[in-house]
A and B are shown apart, each in its own frame.
Chain A
Amino acid sequence: MNFKQFISANKKPSILIPQAITVIALISVIIYFATNAQINMGNRGISFGFGFLNQEASFDIAFSLIEFDGSYSYGRAFLVGLLNTVLVSVIGIFFATIIGVIVGVSRLSDNYLIAKAAEWYVEIFRNIPLILQIFFWYFAALRALPSPENAINFYDISYLTIKGWYIPKFIWTNFNLFCYSIIAAFFSIYFFLKYAKKQREEFGRILPTATISILILILLPLISFFLLDVSLSFSYPELKQLSAASYTYENGVSIIPELMALALALSMYTATFIAENVRAGVLGVSKGQKEAAASIGLNKGQILKLVVMPQALRIIIPPTTNQYLNLTKNSSLAAAIAYPDMVLVFAKTALMQTGRAIEIISITMLTYLSLSITISIFMNWYNKKMAIKEK
C-alpha cells in the first residue's frame, strides 16, 4: 500500500479523527516534556548530549572482565557493566537450564517422593520474590562463610570464604589453536550428523551418532595438545597474610560473593519456571505418538530422540527463551547488592557523578530493549520454522 492508497483508505472522518487526536495528543505531550527538560537542563547548566561518554570516569569498579580503573572513560564503564550483566546472565541461564530440566523431569517421575520433592521445590522458590532470595543468599547465607584463614578447602585447589570463592587460574599457551580445534570439532560433528541423517533416512542404516560425536569432541582437542604445542597449567590460589588479622588468597581467580549470590538466586528462581515449561512440554506430546513410534519398531532411545523430543522441544523452547530473557532483565537486581552490572555502574554510579539522568537512563533502557527485541525477532523466526507444516 503506497501513501496515496493509505490516505484514500483512511479518508472517512470516523477513522481519521480518533487517530489524529491520538497522534496530536502524543506529540504535544512529548513536546511538553521536551521543553520542560530543556528548561530544567538549562537551569542546571548542562546541555543534552552524549559527549560525556568520553570523559574520564574517575571511579573504580570492584569486578570487571576487561581492564578498568578511574582513568578510563564513562563509555568504557558502560562496557564493563554490560559485560558483567552478560556474565551473570550466561552463568544464570546455564544453571537454570540444568536445574530446570532436572526438576521438570523429576516432577513427571513415577517415584512419588521425587515428584513431590520437585513440586515443593517449584512451589517454594517460585513464590518468594527474587529480590528477597538474592538478599537471603548475599546477606544471610554467604555471610556465614568462614574468613580466609579458616576457608572451606576443596582438596587444596579451591577455597570458599566470606570474601569470595577462589578457584585456580587457567594458564594457556597457544590458546588460539585450542579454540580452533574446538571449532573444527563442532564443524566435523555437524557434517557427520548430516551424513548420519542421510544414511538413516535413505538407507535405514543407524550409525552410533552419540558415541562418535563425543569421540570427535575429545580427540580433536587432544590432537591439538599433543601435536600443536598447546598446553594448560593452573595457578592455584595461595593464602597470604596482609596484616596480623587480615588474610587473602593470591594467584587464583576470585569469584566475588555478589556474583555468587546473584547467580544462585537467579538460577534457582528461573529454574522453577523452566521446570514447569519442561513438564508441560513432555506432557504435551500425546501418548499415541509414542505408541505409534513403538509400533513401527523404534527402540526406546530412538522414540525419545526422534519422536518425543522434537515435539516436546517445540512446546518447551518458546516459553523458555522468554524465561532466559526474564533472567537477563532480572539480573538488573544486582544493583541491590552492589554487583557491578550495567544498572549499578551506569544508571547509578555514573548518573550520580554526571547528573545526566535523561541520557544515561535512555541508554540503559535502550540496551535492554534492543536485547529483548533481538530475542523476540529470533523467537518469531524460530516459531515459524518449527511450526507444524500442514498440507
Chain B
Amino acid sequence: MNLSNYRPTKDKISTYLPLGSFLIIISFFDILINTFFNLNITSFLTQKISYFFPLVIGFIGFYLIRIEFSGVKFLDKLNKNINSNNFNALLTLLILFIIIKSILPILNWFFFEANFVGNSKEDCTGDGACWVFIKVWFNRFMYGLYPDVEQWRVNTAFILLFGLVGIAFFVPQKIKKYFLIFLIFVYPFIGIKLLSGGSFGLTYVETAAWGGLSLTFIISAFAILFCFPIGVILALGRRSSLPAIRYISIGFIELWRGVPLITVLFMAAVMFPMFLPDGTFIDKLIRVLIAITLFEAAYMAEVVRGGLQALPKGQYEAAKSLGMGYWRMNALIILPQALKLVIPGIANTLLALVKDTPLIFVVGLMELAGMIGLAKTNPKWLGMAMEGYVFAGLVFWVICYAMSRYSQNLEKKLSTER
C-alpha cells in the first residue's frame, strides 16, 4: 500500500474538498459552541483530547483541502494565503482560535456587561467596564482643574486654532503666507491670553489649574512650534565650518539626546530654579515647556541634519557661485530642499513628542494620565484604573495612529514624486 496514493490531488478533489471542509467546519463549530454557549460537544473524550480536538480536526481538514492547482479560484487563494504548508495551517488555526476565544470576553467587558448610565460607582452593577466613571469625570479629563464656567475659553482657543489651520489648507497660495505668519507669530499670544486671562475682563486662571487632554495639546503645540526653528539652527550649527559653533552644537545635541526626558523634567522642576536670581520665579509649566522644547529640538536637529547631508554638494556650490551669502544660501536653496527630504522624519519626531507629553505628570502637571491618576484615587471611585487607562490609551492611540498613518502616506507620496 502506497501512502502517496492518498495525497490530496486534483483528480480526487470531489472526495477531499467536501471531507476537508466538513472537518474544518466541525472544528470551528466546536470552538464557537464552546465559547459562546459554554457547551463541550466532545465531552465523551477525555479532557486533554477534548481540549486539542478542534486543533487536530482542523489541521487534518486543512491538510485535505491543500490541493495544488485545483482550478477552484477561491480554494487556490485560500491555500496560498493561509494554508501553504502544515506549519502555516497550524498557525492559522491557532490565530483564529485565539481570536475567537478572546473576542467574547473583550466585547463583554467593553459593551455587553458594561454600564453606561448612572452617575456614581454604585450604578455600576455589571461585570464589565464602568464607563460611568469616564462619563462623570470626562470634563476633568479634558480640562483638568480649569473652572467649569471658564471652559469656553479653552474651547474657543482650540476651535480658533483648528479653524485657522483648516482655512489655511484651502485658501489660495497668496494669502496662505499671511495665514501662516499669523498662526506662528500672533496666534500663540492670543491663545495664551485667552487661556490664562487676567485682562480684557477675563478672570485669571493659574497654570496649575490647566490640565487634562487640553494641556497635552497645549504643550504639544508649543513644543512643536518652538522645537522646529531651534532644531534647524542646531542642525546648521552642527554642519557649520566654524569649529567653536560646531562643537557647541554637537555638545548641546548629544547632551539632550543622551539623557532620558524624565531627568530633563526633574532638572526643569527642581534644579533650574537654583540657577535663577533669588526672588525670580518662572512658572513651572513654562519651565517644563522649555525643557521639552530643547529636548525635542535636539532630536529634530538630527533629523534635519540628515536632510542637509543628503543634499548633493553641487547645490551649495551653485548657490555660492551665484554670489549668495551663508544665510541667503541656506534660506533660499538648501533648507527648502533639505526639509522636504526629511518630512517623514519630522513627522516621526512630532509623533514622539506627543507620545512623550504624558510624562509631565512626574513633575506634578495634571494632563490626561495625571488626571486619571487623580480620579482613580478618589475614595468614591476606587478600582477604576482599568477603565481610566484603557480610555486614555484609546485616546492617545487614535491621535498617534492618525499621525503615523499621515506620515506614512506623506512618505509614500514624496517618494513617488522623486
Contact = CB atoms under 8 A, between A and B. Distances in A.
Interface in A1-48: 10, 15, 18-20, 22-23, 26, 33, 36-37, 39-41, 43
A193 interface: no
A179 interface: no
A254 B71 CA distance: 60
B121 interface: no
Contacts of A112: 81-82
B323 interface: no
Given A111-B82, A136-B389, A369-B255, A128 B271 contact: no
Interface string B352-377: 00011111011000000100110010
Interface string B77-89: 0001110100010
A23 B249 CA distance: 11
Interface in A337-383: 343, 347-348, 351, 357-358, 361, 364-365, 368-369, 371-373
A184 interface: no
B91 interface: yes
B277 A343 contact: no
Contacts of A347: 263, 266
A41 B274 contact: yes
Contacts of B88: 109-111, 114
A192 B254 CA distance: 42
A319 B67 CA distance: 42
Interface residues of B, number: 54
B278 A332 contact: no
Q: What's the dominant secondary structure at chain B's contact region? A: helix
B248 A127 contact: no
A128 B396 contact: yes
Interface residues of A, number: 59
Contacts of B379: none
Interface of A: 10, 15, 18-20, 22-23, 26, 33, 36-37, 39-41, 43, 109-114, 117, 123-124, 126-133, 135-136, 139-141, 143-144, 329-330, 332-333, 335-336, 343, 347-348, 351, 357-358, 361, 364-365, 368-369, 371-373
A373 B258 contact: yes
Contacts of A373: 254, 258
B274 A139 contact: no
B393 A132 contact: yes
A139 B401 contact: no
B175 interface: no
Interface string B258-289: 11101100110011001111100000000000
A330 B385 contact: no
B248 A26 contact: yes
Interface in B71-123: 80-82, 84, 88, 91-92, 95-96
A117 B91 CA distance: 11
8 residue pairs, one from A and one from B, having the closest CB atoms: A372-B258, A127-B400, A19-B244, A139-B385, A140-B386, A329-B260, A369-B258, A33-B275
